[in-house]
Structure 1
């Protein structure tokens, strides 16, 4: 795949792990944004994500590094680093090295996920990572749903913006997901870093029905380019989270999560095992449909400018203009590419 003409180092919240992958005392190795990183959990439960190399002589803290209480100890010479990336102990010296610091990342744990804030300019977070329950304002919680079902695909040649653009692409539903009719969008709100897209859709019936008679749909919240959460209504109750995180200049990791609502009523009470099995089957189907999109994205070439149909122009123009704010040059390219244009 040709490298997309979009920076692979956008600003925003991005998922780098699931919370249950990093127990107390664990040191988790990963690479994102072309940077080797480690995530480690202190005795108190606090999670830290930082660059991976010790500032002393460059040992990788993920290979033999040890969590001791509230610090991470380097395997090479025992230097200890705090959750702020500061050296707090050199075991064979009277004082630490206060002049060096390992880069750390703002981190939040939400919906069983670990999100870091990435910004090459070093700015503090200026919007919140979305919550698949709280942000829809309907009083729902994880306890109302069966356990999270997951998909994880690594190092795919795709860009996070492909996934976000899918959210305004009404025409693909009929051809990729075989919906009987083309959905209709009822909300495009791209006024802030967190955007909102709602649409009416059905996966049942035939192409003879009218969209006006459809009583089901999806509400989506996009927290920058890295995280999108959805709520379905008028159909089987489900919530989804899609999280696309750049690994390097060519590839991204894809995580997708789905929650299926616990049914209410006598049938669920009488046969809870059957109800849970049916929920798992539906969750698998939601994941299968997302996998259909992944198959397209992983072989897609970014078209700029795209040859849009008249009915597509408004949605795609809005989301592409919105996306520009998350790039280093404010236009979608990298700083180096911008220099080459001038």
Structure 2
């Protein structure tokens, strides 16, 4: 793809693994934001994500590094590194090297996922990663849902902002996902780093119905550019998580997860195996629809300024202005200031 005029090193929480990929004592290798990284889980269960190379002579700790209690031991000379990236032991010396440190990343686990905080300026996290079972109002009992279903696509030529902009793109639903009518957005709130988008939508019926008669929709929460969680209502009960993480200056990894609600009331009295099979099929359909978007994003060129229809102006202007705060050169102005700057740039 043509390199997007957007930094591939934005600030925020980004998924680098699933929690169940890293058991106690495991060392997991990965590359994100042009950095070779490792994640390792201590005997206490605590997870650490750090840059991959030993500060001694540069051995890659992901290839032969071992977890020893609460530290990671280099395979080359046995130097041991703490969860803070500090050298705590040189086995053939009386004292450690206190002057060198491996870069570590703030890390949190939720949504069965491992998220790191990335910030080029080294700032501490200033918002929380959204929790698909903790950030929405009302009942959020994970036990009321079947196990998580997943999609993982690596090294795609797309930018995280493409995915976030999809959340305000009402027109694509009819043409990409074949909804009978175009949905109507009922909420755009881009005043904080965690933003909210709600819309009324249906996947059933025909184009003769009116949106006023539709009694179903989606609530979405965007935690920066890296994570979006959704909750559906009035349809088959489902929740989704999309997580897009830059790998290098051209590519990103895409993860998508869906939970399907278990039957309740009389429906719960039926055949459990049959109900689970139906739920899994519905989850696969949700994932299939997401892959329709992925196919477009992976071949998209970022248009700036875009040739927007009048009905698209409000949503796209708001989300692009909001997104500027997550880039190294985006500035720290208010949402209103960012919107004004974007409008001047587009005119």
**For the superposition of Structure 1 and Structure 2, which TM-score range results when normalised by the shorter chain?**
over 0.9
Check if 1:326 corresponds to 2:326. yes
1:331 Cα deviation from its structure 2 partner: 6.6
**For residues 165-244 of structure 1, what are the structure 2 equivalents within 5 Å?**
165-244=165-244
Count of residue correspondences: 332
The answer for the alignment partner of 1:147 in structure 2 is 147
Structure 1 residue 266: Cα displacement: 3.5
* Distance in 2 separating the partners of 1:266 and 1:138: 22
Structure 1 residue ranges without an equivalent (≥5): 333-342
1:12-31 to 2 correspondences below 5 Å: 12-31=12-31
**Map of 1:311 onto structure 2:** 311
Q: How does 1:29-44 map to 2 (within 5 A)?
A: 29-44=29-44
Aligned equivalent of 1:268: 268
SS of residue paired to 1:173: helix
- The alignment partner of 1:95 has SS state of coil
C-alpha displacement of 1:140: 1.2
- TM-superposed CA distance for 1:57, in Å, is 0.4
Unaligned runs of 5+ in 2: 333-347
Measured after TM superposition, the shift of residue 139 of structure 1 is 2.4
Deviation of 1:295 (Å): 0.3
1:113 alignment counterpart: 113
1:125 aligns with 2:129: no
- In the aligned structure 2, how far is the partner of 1:226 from the partner of 1:324? 14
Name the residue aligned to 1:2: 2
Q: Secondary structure at the match of 1:20?
A: helix
Deviations 1:41-65 (A, max 9, x none): 0000000000000000000000000
Give the Cα separation in 1 of the matches to 2:28 and 2:142. Answer: 26
Counterpart of 2:342?
Answer: none
Cα deviation for residue 141 of structure 1 reads 1.9
Q: 1:265, CA displacement in angstroms?
A: 2.5
Dislocated runs of 4+, deviation >6 Å: none
Relative to the length of structure 1, the TM-score reads 0.96
Partner Cα distance (1:29, 1:35) in 2: 11
In the superposition, the TM-score normalised over structure 2's length comes to: 0.95
Shift of 1:321: 0.1
Once superposed, what is the RMSD of the aligned Cα atoms?
0.9
